[in-house]
Each structure stands twice: as structure tokens, then as C-alpha cells.
Amino acid sequence: MIEAESLCKRYGSFTAVRDLSLVVRPGEVLGLVGPNGAGKTSTLRCLAGIIPATSGTLRIAGHDLAADPVAAKRKLAFFPDEPRLFDYLTVRQHLNFVARIYGVADHEARAQPLLEEFEIADKADRLPGELSRGMKQKLAIACGLLHAPQVMFFDEPLTGLDPLGIRRMKNSILQRARDGATIVLSSHLLHLLEEVCSHVLILKKGEKIADGTLAEVAARFSAGETGVSLEEIFIRATGGSEN
Amino acid sequence: MLGALLYLRLTSFRNGLLSRLRRLRQPKYLIGAIVGFAYLWFFFFRPMGAVGAPRHSPGEALALAEAATGTAVLLPADWVPLSTAIGALALLVFFTLMWVIPTERAALGFTEAEIAFLFPAPITRRGLVHFQLLSTQFRSLAGATIMMLFSHRWTFLGGNALTHALGWWFVFSALNLHLNGARFTLTRLADGGLGLWPRRVAVLALVGAVIAVTVWRMPAGAPPQAPGADPDLRPITDWLLALSNTAPLTWLLWPFRFVVGPFLAPDALGFFLALGPALAVLGLHYYWVVRAVSAFEDSSVDAAQKRAARIAAWRSGQSVRSPGDAKPQRPPFALAGTGRPELAFLWKNLLSTWPWFTGRVFLGCAAVIVAAGLWLGSQPLPRGVLPGIGAMAVMFAAYTLIVGPQFARQDIRSDLANADILKTYPLAGWQIVLGELLAPTAILTGILWLALLAAGITFQPTSERMAWLTPGLRVALTAALALLAPALAALQLLVPNAAALVFPGWFQASRTRGGGPEMIGQRMIFFFAQLLTMLFALLPAAALGAALVFIFQWLVGAVVAVCLTAVAVLAILVAEVWCGIWLLGQQFERLEISAENRA
């Protein structure tokens, strides 16, 4: 479970996230949407413990992220939009390294199914420099999943994936949610959110405009119309501009 | 096409200059620029006589000194034959290597942006070659100016700053043109079926044959003599002159003599006389390159990508290897899934360095040092060089300790780009810092131990005044230093890592591509800050060590005193290292790269 209460993030005099509260329960997939500069990435980074919140309380699987960050981080995985890999570690060595960091004793048994699921088993002894952008993305995801996290944060998870990879990624997210994982993902691809997310949270200029299930948010901005797409809801909610 | 090139170069230069001037509003660049300009002024421009000093070249200054003192001094003109011979021979070596070393097809040094804009443009292949050749002239001019700053202080040179700069330009242009011509020709020969090794053997055999025939034809009585106790290089210089003036080598060297002629000209008249032949050599080279052009597009694209990857890796803090050229390595040791997580960083960072930083190679080097030291010590003739080797080993150890952290960068500096991912790991900040420091500490410690081993085996007192340095005390000192080496290396590494974490903006700025006074200044500030911090950190340990040695040597003798003191000093150093790691860990937890990037 993810709990954020009055989350605020400031960079100097600039406020990126303002008084944001949210709760995401196991099995739920929350889609974080908003115009450019709305504070989606700052929110994700605060929730993942990458950057400290300026104020507010964050709890990951029951652990306070500020008071007990190590315990909280054991339960989470963060997947950045751009895969950050180590240039001189092969695919398999990446998994070996991550296993030691998280203390995964049976990592070899866990790694092979992941490599096969993401179709990079035949690239296990290759360096990142020899992989395509999509394969690097798959490797980053496999590394994140190795310790079976209960909480997952995806920042633009479909960037760089081919159509088949996109389908597999969507299925993988849904499967993990069905298995009880708590997932937050940020994306500009609204059709992805419609297909994958159970909940949505719309941010604008660092503030929450709306949140709830897709049906609840749709009802709020549809003005009685039926069949309004999430894209239309998004444009109505944000006023159609970044500002 | 020429207009487009000039527009690109001049506009880029102007915008780059303006951008650099604008960023001087940031203190980190302004302070760097002040320090950099001060350094350039005091070490290069002031000796050139910019203000207040008499405007004489070093050669003229020598002539004046001779006139003033009445002592015989060799004038620049006296040096010309020898310096020309040495310069021509050096160029012969460079040019020969250009025919021996290349293994890939000819590539021109386009950037990725140039490829993106120029390759699809309606420009002929020859036009692209012209573009590239002219582009290199800008770089040659910049390189010539920098080299002039150094060479202007060489006392054997005549001429002035302008002739030196132009002289260097001739040398660089000839090297560049010949490199391109050779690579185009080699590509054509390879396409015609000439293999790599037959080509290498043929080139080396040809040059070797020329030298062999020349040596055979040299006048009798001029074999090279090794310098004796009183170093007199005259026999060697005479032999070199004779070698370069004997056919057939002298014919081969003529173009090279023409190229170095303007640079070595002792005066203005000599310079103008040397211009014609040098220009002729460049003109012939240009004609050759344009005629020899072969397909270079594929290899140029590949080379541009590799260069971009190298630059990106360097700017992100990695300087040792290019990711594009990397090959998967065997892990340094088996990494289990459970255990101290810090060791995972050691494992990872050792994988990112050269493959020969292994325990096996270290033990092999140690065995060679011991065997060589014992053999040298048992032979009467070479035994005399042992103290010199020992002194060099000690100097090498000191150099490794001071400069090593700038090269062994497999730590936070290399991983700063991955800070986001590292921060999601379930580890305290100090654990990440400790883990990151392990690999470079291990590497530097290994090198220090080898240097100390060499010093311990070879260093022997040569005078009565050093009689107190008994064999037992030498062993104790070597062991004590070996004991302290890991802590000293870790302490040294903490400083640049602290700079990267405490001043990430400065650290990123110092990795900005390109030079300039502000970059020179920033690097100097970093270097001296590191030295000062190190001295400050060593002060408590040094004070305690001196006091303990002074007290213990009266009580238990020098050997035991050194050992006991080493343990006490080690305790202080470990405590300092631990404090540093803990503080840096706190800093790592607070680090916000995204905030730095916003600033």
C-alpha cells in the first residue's frame, strides 16, 4: 500500500508538488496524468524515495519513507522512463548485482523466468551497449522485478517498446496488480491508462485536480454525457493548457 | 560549400565564446576563469614578455647572456642541424606508424551532427573531404597556439612566438594530411586484397631496410656510445647527425626536414626560406589525399558514434574506457545473492575497469618485482642502479597516492548519472558510499603495495649518513607504509567523491567538454583543494606518529617503534575515513541531482 499525506516538494522557490494526498491499495493501478511540468515525475521520485519530500508523510507497505527508508525501499521498485544501466555489466550480471543489493538468495531461479518473460534470455551475456533501447528497458524492468516488490512505480513505462513489447508490458502490469502489487504509473499515453489503470489522479501545476476510479473521474467531468474518453476528460480537467 | 563551412565554424566559435562569457556570471566559472587566467599569465604569457619584460626570444636571451658573460653559449643556429635531424626522425616514426597501426577502414572525423546534416546534403564525396580537411585546420591552429605557449620557452629555439605557432601548424597539418592520405590508400589496398599483417610486415621491412643500409653505409668510427658516469651526449648526437645525413635515409628524411623547417628556423630570414619547401610538401599531400579518396561514409558514421559515446561516458564521470568498445568480462569473484551489499559495488566497479586489475595479475607483478630485485642485487654491475630504482619506486608511490584518484574513478563519480537508481536501493547512504569506494581503493592499494615492494627490495643506503636505515628498519618501514596504504588511498579518494557529492554543480562543470581558462582554473582549484584537504586530514595522524616514534624508539627501539606507531596512525586514519564515509553517506541521501540540474 502507498500512502501520501500532504506531500509537498519544493526546489528553491519553485513548488513542484503542493499538498498532495493519496492512497493506493494492493491490487490497484493508479495512473498519474497531467500536462508537462505538472509534477508527475517529482511525485513519483518522492514516492520512490529518490528525492526527499519537503514536507508531508509517505508510507510504503506500512513503512515510513523518511523514518525507515531502508525497510520501505525493500518493498518497492522504481522504473525510470530512460533505462539507467551500468555500461560494463552484462544482462545476467545486472541481475546478479541487484540480487545482492536486495539480498535475493535464489536469484538464479528467479532471474531465468524474468529473462524469458521479457525475451532477453538469449542476450544474457551481452553488455547494455549491445542492446536496443527496448531491450534495455526490458532489462531495467527485469532488475526491478527480481526482488518481487510489493509496490511499483513506472515513469512512462512504454517508452521505446515495440507494439508487442507494449502489449506484454501492459499484461505484465495487470498480472502483477492481480497478484496483489500496488502500482503507480505516470504516462502521457491516455489509452494505456484506460486499459491498465483502475484509478487515475490528475495533476496540474503540482496540485491534485481530481482522483478516483476512472468511472468516478469520468462522471465528474463528463457533465452528464456518456462515452466520454479519458482524453476528453483530461482536456476538460486541465483546461486544455499547461497553465 | 566553403561559405557554409566558414559560416558553421565562425558562428559556432562566436556562439561558443558568447556562451562561455555568459556563464562567467556563475561564480564557479568566474572563479575558475580568474585562477585559469592567472595561471596562464604567470606561467606562459609573462615569460613571453607581455608587459614589463624585455622582448627577447629565449635564443636571443642566450646570445645576450653570452655577450654579457663572455662564456661560450650555443646559439639557436648551432642547434638547427641536430634539432632538424631529431624532428625529421620523429616525424618518420609517426608517419611509419600511420601505415602500420590502422586496422579499420578510412574514416573522417565528422561529428554526429555534421553527419546528420552533411551526408544527406547534395555535396560530393570530395566536397565532404574538403570540408573535413578545412575543419581540421581550425583545430590545427588551436593546437599550434597551445604548443607555442610551451615551445616558446625552449632555449635551443630561435624565431619568435609567431614563427613557432606557424611552425607547429605546418607540423600538425602535415600529420593530419598524411594520416588521411595513408588511411584512404590503405583502404584501397585492403579492397585490392592486401591483408593487415602482410602490409605491416612490408612497411616495417621497407623502413628497416632503409635504416639498415644507412647504418651499413655510415662513416666508420661513429657507433653510438652509452653515456658514462659524467653524462656527455655528444657521441649520441654526433651519431644521430651522421645517421640522418647518410643515404638512403637522408633522402627519406628530406620531406620531413621541410616540414619542421619553419618551426626550427633560427630567425625571420630562415623562416621565410623554409616556407616554400614546407608549403610544397603540404600541397603534395593535399593533392594525394584528394586523389586517394575512397568510401569513408560507413566507417565515419561508426567512428562518430563511438566518439560521441566516449564523450558522453567521460562527461558522466567515466574516463577510463569507452562503453562502445567494452567487452563482457569475467567477474572478479563469485557474487552470492546474500551477504554484505557493499561488496556488490566492489564487484560491479571492478567489472567496469580494465580486465587486468585482478589478484592474479597483482601476484604475478609482485613475483616479477621480487625476482628482478633479487637478481639485480646479486649482480655486481647492475647493483649500482638499485638505489635509483628504489627512489623511483618511492616517487611512483607518492605520485599514485596524489594523482591516482583522478584516474581510478570507479566510484560515485562514475555512478552520479545513476544516482536515481542507487537511491531506490534499500541501503543507507554510508553503505553506498563505502561500497562505491572499495574498488578504486583496492586498485590504488594494489599499485601502492607493488611500488612499496619494489622500494623495499631495491632501496639501500648509499652513504654513511644513511647508516641508521638498517635492513630491519627498512622492512618495518615498508610494512608500516603497506599497512597504511589502504587507509591513505581511501582518504585520498574521499576528497574527489566529496567534491562530486557536495558540489555536484562544480563537478559537472569540470566535466564539461572543451578547455578554456575557466576549465583549467576549475581543475586547478580541485587539485589544490584535494592537496590541502589531504594535508589537513593527515596532520593529526602525522603529529601523533611523530610523537609516538620519538617516545617509543627510546623505550623499545626503532623497529618496534615504527610498527607500534603504524598501528596507532592507522587507527586515526580509519577513524577519519569512517567519519568521511558517514558524512558523505548523509550527503548522498540529501543529494538531489534534479534540483542541481534545475539550478
Nearest Cβ partner for B420 among A50, A89, A107? A50
- Give the model's pLDDT for residue A218: 82
- Give the model's pLDDT for residue B436: 95
How would residue B559 be classed by pLDDT, with cut points 50, 70 and 90?
confident
Q: Are residues A71 and A91 in the same domain?
A: no
Which of A32-36, A87-91, B151-155 has the weakest average pLDDT? Answer: B151-155
Q: Are residues A3 and A39 in the same domain?
A: yes
What are the tens digits of pLDDT across the range A172-221? Answer: 899 999 999 999 999 888 888 888 999 999 998 899 998 898 888 888 88
Q: Are residues A58 and A92 in the same domain?
A: no
How would residue B57 be classed by pLDDT, with cut points 50, 70 and 90?
low
What are the tens digits of pLDDT across the range B437-459? Answer: 999 999 999 999 999 999 988 87
Nearest Cβ partner for A129 among B324, B336, B590? B324
B321 in reach of chain A (CB within 8 A): yes
**B44, pLDDT greater than 80:** no
Residues of B within 8 A of A69 (CB-CB) are 426, 589
Asked if residues B373 and B458 have their Cβ atoms less than 8 Å apart, the reply is yes
Task: Tell me whether residue A99 is in a domain.
Answer: yes
For residue B426, the distance in angstroms to the closest alpha carbon of chain A comes to: 4
DSSP per-residue codes, B371-403: HHHHHHHH-TTGGGGHHHHHHHHHHHHHHHHHH
Q: Are residues A1 and A68 in the same domain?
A: yes
| Surface of B (422-441) touching A: CB under 8 A | 423-428
What are the tens digits of pLDDT across the range B85-94? Answer: 899 999 999 9
DSSP per-residue codes, B406-442: HH--TTHHHHGGGHHHHHTSSS-HHHHHHHHHHHHHH
Nearest Cβ partner for B598 among A11, A48, A84? A11
Asked if residues B412 and B495 have their Cβ atoms less than 8 Å apart, the reply is no
Among B352, B344, B345, CA closest to B318: B352
**A235, pLDDT greater than 60:** yes
Grid coordinates given for B70: 663572455
DSSP per-residue codes, A86-133: -TT--HHHHHHHHHHHHT-TTHHHHHHHHHHHTT-GGGTT--GGGS-H
DSSP letter for B251, please. H
Nearest Cβ partner for A76 among B321, B341, B424? B424
- B184's enclosing H/E stretch is helix B161-191
Q: What are the residue ranges spanned by the domains of chain B? A: 78-224+233-309, 339-598
For residue B342, the distance in angstroms to the closest alpha carbon of chain A comes to: 8
Distance (Å, whole) CA B508 – CA B412: 13
How would residue B519 be classed by pLDDT, with cut points 50, 70 and 90?
confident
Asked if residues B495 and B410 have their Cβ atoms less than 8 Å apart, the reply is no
For residue A77, the distance in angstroms to the closest alpha carbon of chain B comes to: 7
**B153, pLDDT greater than 50:** yes
- Give the model's pLDDT for residue B596: 46
Q: Are residues A88 and A64 in the same domain?
A: no
Q: Are residues A23 and A61 in the same domain?
A: yes
Q: A48 and B324 in contact by Cβ < 8 A?
A: no
Give this complex's ipTM.
Answer: 0.77
Residues of B within 8 A of A90 (CB-CB) are 328
* A122 half-sphere exposure, CB direction, 13 A CA radius: 1
Q: Are residues A2 and A70 in the same domain?
A: yes
Q: Are residues A66 and A105 in the same domain?
A: no
- Give the model's pLDDT for residue B594: 56
Q: Is B501 helix (H, G, I), strand (E, B) or coil?
A: helix
Number of domains in chain A: 2
- The letter for the amino acid at B251 is W
Mean pLDDT of B407-420: 86
Residues of B within 8 A of A87 (CB-CB) are 313, 318, 323, 326, 352
- Note down the domain range covering A19: 1-75+150-157+179-243
**CATH at A243:** 3.40.50.300
How would residue B598 be classed by pLDDT, with cut points 50, 70 and 90?
very low
**Residues on A contacting B at a C-beta cutoff of 8 Å:** 11-12, 14, 42, 45, 48-52, 69-74, 76-78, 80, 84, 86-90, 93, 96-97, 99-108, 125-129
For residue B345, the distance in angstroms to the closest alpha carbon of chain A comes to: 8
- Give the model's pLDDT for residue B59: 57
Rg (CA), chain B: 29
Q: Is A13 helix (H, G, I), strand (E, B) or coil?
A: coil
Which of B135-144, B502-511, B575-584, B586-595 has the weakest average pLDDT? Answer: B502-511
How would residue B69 be classed by pLDDT, with cut points 50, 70 and 90?
low
Q: B594 and A11 in contact by Cβ < 8 A?
A: yes
**B320, pLDDT greater than 60:** no
Task: Tell me whether residue A169 is in a domain.
Answer: no
Nearest Cβ partner for B351 among A80, A93, A101? A93
- Nearest chain B residue (CA) to A102: B426
Residues of B within 8 A of A74 (CB-CB) are 426
Residue B231 sits at φ, ψ, to 5 deg, of -60, 115
Nearest Cβ partner for A51 among B331, B417, B594? B594
The pLDDT > 70 percentage for chain A reads 98
Among A196, A202, A204, CA closest to A231: A202
- Give the model's pLDDT for residue B593: 64
Task: Tell me whether residue A48 is in a domain.
Answer: yes
What are the tens digits of pLDDT across the range B350-371? Answer: 988 888 888 889 999 999 999 9
Distance (Å, whole) CA B59 – CA B249: 30
What are the tens digits of pLDDT across the range A142-160? Answer: 999 999 999 999 988 887 7
Which of A47-56, A194-203, B261-270, B500-509 has the weakest average pLDDT? Answer: B500-509
Task: Tell me whether residue A109 is in a domain.
Answer: yes
